[in-house]
Structure 1
């Protein structure tokens, strides 16, 4: 049984970004499944690689739309993206350095991302972008 399932409360009402966010839920579930099987340390490296790629394409896509449609919270939102990207890279560095408790830290980071960034920060752009025809 997956740890996280998609719920309407996660939706930002933009299909492309909801699709991206569903990929994040997939990473959370993949890591949780591996941890339950005692294989978290084995898959955490792959999860981090996926997460680095994800932050690159997802944040770029959001920021491009924000600029195109004059999203008023662009600067603040981009700052949060930059901090999250830095955290992902720090986690990758910790992984490469052999940090022991990293699997739990990555799991918590991903879950916080879903429950804080998506449900709070990302929700704020929905109305603005929907009003510009982005759905």
Structure 2
């Protein structure tokens, strides 16, 4: 097993929500494509395009999740949204690093980005999907700060 095999879709990453799982699969596929581009030393424009595609897909995915959370009154909405903002900031730093020095964007950089995304899937998205799939079973959260309780 190589260091990057974790970027291949694995059953343990499935959360049980078709749309979210499909988006996660697509993000991992894009990361593997970026890894391959770097490993084969393709031109920096191709790598930049691949990186930008990952950023765009991630941002679209986050917006979709936030719509689902808001629509279901997910009690962890604000914390989850903050996690999205943190990941967006980290991705922004990676893009800036690439733009400043494309050669500094390495396989290790892709691995670190993959770890951030996988951590988010396993630690942040799992409880959200559990709530989305069974809101009554996980709704014993009276008094928690949510998007709906703010407005």
TM-score > 0.5 by shorter chain: yes
For the 8 Å contact 2:35–2:107, the answer to whether it is kept is no
Taking the aligned partners of 2:73 and 2:119, their CA distance within structure 1 comes to: 23
Taking the aligned partners of 2:20 and 2:125, their CA distance within structure 1 comes to: 10
Q: Which runs of 5+ in 2 are unaligned?
A: 136-151
For the 8 Å contact 2:97–2:104, the answer to whether it is kept is no
Question: Displacement of 1:78 after TM fit?
Answer: 0.5
From 25, 43, 46, the counterpart of 2:46 = 43
TM-score calculated relative to the size of structure 2:
0.76
TM-score calculated relative to the size of structure 1:
0.84
Question: Displacement of 1:40 after TM fit?
Answer: 7.5
Larger radius of gyration: 2
From 20, 25, 31, the counterpart of 2:23 = 20
Question: Displacement of 1:74 after TM fit?
Answer: 0.8
Question: Displacement of 1:85 after TM fit?
Answer: 0.7
Q: Which has the higher contact order (CA 8 A, sep 6+)?
A: 1
**RMSD of aligned Cα (Å):** 2.4
Q: Which runs of 5+ in 1 are unaligned?
A: none
Of 65-74 and 96-105, more deviation after overlay is shown by 96-105
Aligned to 1:91: 94
For the 8 Å contact 1:24–1:110, the answer to whether it is kept is no
